[in-house]
Amino acid sequence: MSEGFNGTELSEKLWTEEEKWLLVAVLGIEMLVGVVGNSLVLIVKVMCRGQFCCHYWLPFISLTISDLGCSFLITSGSMMAALTGGQKSPWCEVVSLLKFAFISSSIGSIAILSVQRLIGLPSTRTALFGAMATVCLTSWMTGVGFGSIPVIYDWVRYDPAEMLCAVFWESSYSDTMTYILCAFSICIFLPFLLMLICSLRNAVSCSSSNSPSDEESDLSEVAPLLVASYVICYTPFFMSELILLGRKNLAPAPDWLRTLSSVMSYLDCCLNPFIYCYHQNFREAGLALLWTRKPRKPVLEPVLTAITRTDLAC
């Protein structure tokens, strides 16, 4: 992109007034559902943890925090940017960094959940649990690290199609290819491959097992739905990055694809709370927390306080 890139001017040319308000409405709904839904999920996981079985709580908590942060910070930022026509520094750079961190932590959390389901209950014991916690933290830190590189090298510009600040390349194609390949290989491809292999092995083991599993009622049974949701919602984002990688003139993907990638990635954050509710015990625990009310005044039972003796004359 040229140095004269102006996000506000391009935003006015890119969308009509009706399209802009439609995008604002969609982003507003996604933000509201994502913030409320993931907040309720955290409350249910903390306050009702004894009412449903969840052996692998670490990746679930990490994923929910990532979804909540994305809905509260990134989706709301895109909605405001669509209204105002841009994002200013330093919020522009923060949004670019955090979005990559949330993408990396989300797929890392789902990959860890898939691995723990494959290993079983031994993964919750001290040694293996410490390894899982380290990998979970690493997925966050790796995302922050790779998200910081474009900020340091001043590759971040406001993209009206994505409705947030994104990476625009002004260096050589070799630099672009090196960064994208390293970031995707470490933060995306390896967790995705691990997630896919473990999911397939879990599916094969479940179909070949005739006896009921000890983890049948565990919350982790929603993991295949989480995997499917992530793959579907982030496919436009991966396609847009691959298109950029395939163009030696560093031209970005089409505007409609970049817009779709943002809308779909935000959609994943607000779909996950509904996926958790697919688990019956989790759903019942949430409904009980929301609608069970205590009586305003306690019902007092009669208490014996004294005995009066009456002597009857013969």
**Confidence check: pLDDT of 312 > 60:** no
Give the predicted TM-score (pTM) of the model. Answer: 0.83
Q: What is the pLDDT of residues 157-170, one digit of tens each?
A: 888 888 888 877 66
Range of 164-168, 224-228, 308-312 with top mean pLDDT: 224-228
Domains (ranges, CATH) in the chain? 7-206+240-287 (1.20.1070.10)
Judged by DSSP in three states, 55 sits in coil
Q: Are 69 and 99 spatial neighbours (Cβ–Cβ below 8 Å)?
A: no
Q: Which pLDDT value is given to residue 243?
A: 84
Residue 159 bridge partners (DSSP)? 164
Q: How far is CA 230 from CA 9, 57, 112, in A?
A: 33, 19, 14
Residues 6+ apart with CB under 8 A from 207: none
Dist CA 123 CA 84 (whole Å): 48
